[in-house]
Amino acid sequence: MGCDIHSHAEVKRPDGTWRNVGKIFPVNGPIWAGIIKSDFEEPFYPRNYGVFGFLANVRNYSCVTPIAEPKYAIPEDAAPETQRAYEEWEGDAHSASWLTLEQLLAVDYSTIAWNRRVMKQTAPKCWNGAALAEEGEGTHESLRDFLGELFFAHLETLKTLGKPEDVRVVFWFDN
């Protein structure tokens, strides 16, 4: 069974409340080639377990150091649209959390990460695509390469919404 992210970009209003900005990711240019429009109208979608591991230690088969452990709740002051969307998932939502754009931009994406997710044969004609690499296996790459172009395209879009401390992504996962 797969795991998906459900995420909402929010911007802080001058009165201190948060506004859900809705569907913000455009479809154009070569980076979007082959990706269905609905697959990236939310920040950090579509499914990418490397990104999920980095954001909240979810499906972290690569053993990448997460930016933060999940808070296991959405913010108490989440925008009403975000709260409703979260409530619709009832007990199927897990690892809910949020990160500000400021937190996301503070990361040194040139840091080298050891991607420990490898494919190993476990029996004849049987392969495990989420096996853990032993010393000398896997790949060493920058977080920038590990997270991929789409992650950074989403960051660029988030940067257009406001000051980094006034933009956040509220998210949760389902299985």
Residue 142 lies in a domain: no
Query: What gap in Å lies between CA 144 and CA 155, rounded to an integer?
Result: 12
Q: How many domains does the chain have?
A: 1
Residue 55 lies in a domain: yes
Helices assigned H by DSSP within the chain: 49-56, 80-88, 101-105, 143-147, 149-159
> One-letter amino acid identity for 2?
G
Give 88-139 pLDDT, tens digit per residue: 998 899 999 999 999 999 999 999 998 888 888 889 999 887 777 788 888 8
**Which residue range(s) make up the domain with 100?**
4-106+152-174
Going along 27-166, which residue ranges are E strands? Answer: 94-100, 112-115, 117-123, 126-132, 139-142
pLDDT the model gives residue 25: 60
Residue 123 lies in a domain: no
Give 15-45 pLDDT, tens digit per residue: 999 999 887 665 444 444 454 444 446 899 8
Residue 10 lies in a domain: yes
Residue 120 lies in a domain: no
Residue 35 lies in a domain: yes
